[in-house]
Amino acid sequence: MANLFQEARKRQKELQKLECALQARLAKAPPGKIHVFMNGKYVMYYLRNSSSERTGTYISVRDEPKIRTYLQKSYDEKLLKLVQRELSRLDPLLSEEKDGRAQIQDLYSSFPEKARKFLKPADIPDDTYVRLWLAKPYQAKEIPATSSSFISLNGNRVRSKSELNIANTLFRFKIPYKYECPLTLSGGITIYPDFTILNGKLRKVLYWEHRGMMDDRDYATQAVERIREYEKNGIFPGDNLIITEETLRHPLGTEEIKYVIRHYLLS
């Protein structure tokens, strides 16, 4: 049930974005409508400036820019109606989901906190889900005392300034994460993604690898091999794997980190 509503919310956002784009494009479109008429094997185009016109003004096929503009306008108008129709059908479904799912989540919360450990709830509130996920203990990869390290805003010890920037930006956006949490791949291989991140609303775990020395040939080779290991285990860039890179000449900036977070974790 949750997946159905998640897909519905995702579709709603896509349609809302498309609706805004169409409305903006139509606001700039010239007045009038194109009428397409088939004359045997030929297509003829007429521009009607008002609904009272029966035929309109003929547009020569040589005037491709005008034909293209008015055909696109006609397409956009029809597409906008379809988009708005689908949005109107999604609204009642998502309204029901907000009420119904909230009641199911509140049912779990209604039990005393000490009693909840005995339950296997069908669904729980997002904040509870995040809290339980963060509470699961893990053994992070050890950072030798002699190595350079930086302390993030939530107390994590990380290995580089760029990782510190990522950690602090995640913290400021209130996105739950674990630093270098072990992940066991097929064949019993254990790796330590830089960041294991939870999208609380979608209940989806993503991994963030920052490749900080891509101008080092050996480092770059190992980085490519690591991505291939991820892919063998169903973890793909652009889906549940985030990749950022930098070189000495092109360091990772805070704004780029924010773009990545907004795209993968807040959309």
Number of domains comprising the chain: 2
What is the side-by-side strand order in the sheet with 57-59?
33-39, 42-48, 57-59
Domain, as residue range, for 27: 2-109
Q: Stretch 226-241: mean pLDDT, rounded?
A: 94
| Amino acid occupying residue 144 | P
Residue 32 — pLDDT band, cuts 50, 70, 90?
very high
Residues 138 and 253 in one domain: yes
* CATH number for the domain that contains residue 224: 3.40.1350.10
Instruction: Based on the fold, state whether residues 77 and 21 are members of the same structural domain.
Output: yes
Instruction: Please report whether residue 116 resides in a domain.
Output: no
Are residues 175 and 261 located together in one domain of the fold?
yes
Q: What is the pTM of this model?
A: 0.66
Whether 114 is in a domain gets the answer: no
pLDDT given for residue 1 in this prediction:
46
pLDDT tens, position by position, 117-174: 888 887 888 888 899 899 999 999 998 888 888 999 999 899 999 999 999 999 999 9
Confidence of residue 3 (pLDDT cuts 50, 70, 90): low
159 lies in the same domain as 250:
yes
242: exposed, middle or buried (C-beta count within 10 Å: 0-12, 13-18, 19+)? buried
Q: Do strands 204-211 and 150-151 pair parallel, antiparallel, or not at all (unpaired)?
A: unpaired
| Same domain (yes/no): 70, 165 | no
Both 50 and 166 in a single domain? no
